[in-house]
């Protein structure tokens, strides 16, 4: 069930991105990159690596895999640039591509987990001070299924039907995973 008349967080972010000046600059860079201009593609990397890395880091749960996935996403983007037609902002297009790359890599791992495998994360011994870092560490320690659904839904603004389609799971499973993730995080952050 979606809220009638309201846009998701992701849609709002996409609209904001589409009307920004940087989107126009990106469109020009993307056109140059499509023609084989590597320098233009590097500029796109500079502009979007941080956003994509945040996504990869939170979905993968560790920096090592996140770095591999980020590189894979940009390599895949270079290969698929010919499919970018400018209907949406480059950032939107690339973000979706990144999600698909990460989910594709993690899907097999996710399916190997029992559906009800969720445990409360332990507090990271080396967690840095500050609530944000505690929250990041707690997210990273969630079981894969719960973490991925939580990041996609609560951080990235995806809806359950979209998540279910991406992950190849039932909508109900997505909701259960989100519920468990939130419960575990509340418990962790409240302890």
Partner 1 sequence: MTCQEVLECLDDYVDGQLPEDDARELREHVESCCTCREEEAAARVLASHVAGLPKSVPPARELWPGIAVRLDALEAPRRAWKFRVNGLALLTAAATLAVIAAGAYSFLEGGAARRDGPAPGIVLSSTPAACLGSDAGLEQAQAEQLAALRDCEKALAPQTIRIVRENLDILDAASRTLCSAIEEDPANPHLMLRWMALQQRKIGMLAAVVRLSGAG
User: Residues 106 to 145: which contact partner 1 by CB under 8 A?
Assistant: 106-109, 112, 131-132, 135-136
Q: Are 90 and 84 in contact (CB under 8 A)?
A: yes
Give the one residue of 25, 31, 65, 88 binding partner 1; rule: CB under 8 A.
Answer: 65
Residue 25 makes contact with partner 1 by CB under 8 A? no
Collapsed DSSP state (helix, strand, coil) of residue 22: helix
Residue 132 φ/ψ region, left for φ over 0, alpha for ψ in the -120 to 50 degree band, beta for the rest: alpha
Distance CA 138, CA 147 (A): 10
Distance CA 41, CA 13 (A): 23
Task: Give the total of residues touching partner 1 (CB under 8 A).
Answer: 49
Residue 18 makes contact with partner 1 by CB under 8 A? no
Tokens linked to 32: 């140059």
- The nearer residue to partner 1, 27 or 103, going by C-beta atoms, is 103
Give the one residue of 68, 83, 116, 165 binding partner 1; rule: CB under 8 A.
Answer: 68
**Region near partner 1 per CB under 8 A, out of 81-89, 105-113, 117-125, 162-170:** 105-113
CA torsion through residues 88, 89, 91, 94, sign: positive
Distance CA 130, CA 54 (A): 18
Q: Which residues bind partner 1 (CB under 8 A)?
A: 1-3, 38, 41-42, 45-46, 49-51, 53-54, 57, 63, 65-72, 74-75, 78-79, 104-109, 112, 131-132, 135-136, 154-155, 175, 178-179, 182-183, 185-186, 189-190
């Amino acid at each position: 069930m979606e809220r009638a008349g309201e846009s998701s967080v992701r849609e709002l972010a996409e609209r904001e991105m589409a009307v920004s000046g940087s989107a126009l600059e990106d469109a020009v860079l993307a056109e140059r990159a499509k023609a084989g201009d590597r320098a233009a593609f590097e500029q796109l990397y500079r502009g979007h690596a941080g956003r994509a890395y945040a996504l990869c880091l939170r979905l993968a749960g560790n920096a090592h895999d996140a770095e591999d996935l980020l590189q894979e996403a940009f390599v895949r983007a270079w290969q698929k640039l010919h499919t970018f037609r400018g209907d949406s902002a480059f950032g939107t297009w690339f973000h979706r591509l990144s999600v698909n790359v990460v989910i594709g890599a993690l899907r097999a791992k996710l399916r190997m987990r029992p559906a009800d495998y969720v445990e409360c994360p332990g507090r990271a011994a080396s967690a840095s001070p500050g609530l944000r870092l505690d929250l990041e560490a707690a997210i990273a320690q969630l079981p894969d299924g719960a973490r991925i659904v939580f990041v996609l839904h609560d951080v990235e603004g995806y809806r359950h039907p979209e998540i279910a389609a991406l992950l190849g799971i039932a909508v109900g499973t997505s909701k259960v995973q989100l519920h468990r993730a939130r419960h575990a995080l509340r418990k962790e952050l409240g302890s």
